[in-house]
Amino acid sequence: YLVLALGADTNWYGNERIRAHAIPMKSVSEALFIRNQIFEDYEKAVVAEDYDQRQTLLDIVIVGGGPTGVE
């Protein structure tokens, strides 16, 4: 899974599982890391023989979008 945590201030709501799997996007380097992670997962999905593994690699979750209405 790829979980993106966007916003002015990253709030994990005390949930360590979210902190372990989420990638905040507050800087250009974090944005580039996310882009590269997505590309890497897509490249793995192209050669994955197992359907469930391929679907897992293609899942992207975006949480929170703030006042832009992305929620």
Q: Name the active-site residue from 16, 30, 49, 71.
A: 71
Concerning whether 71 is annotated as a catalytic residue, the answer is yes
Cβ atoms of 62 and 4 within 8 Å: the answer is: yes
Quickly list DSSP for 28-61.
Answer: HHHHHHHHHHHHHHHHHHHH--SHHHHHHHH-EE
Catalytic residue ranges: 71
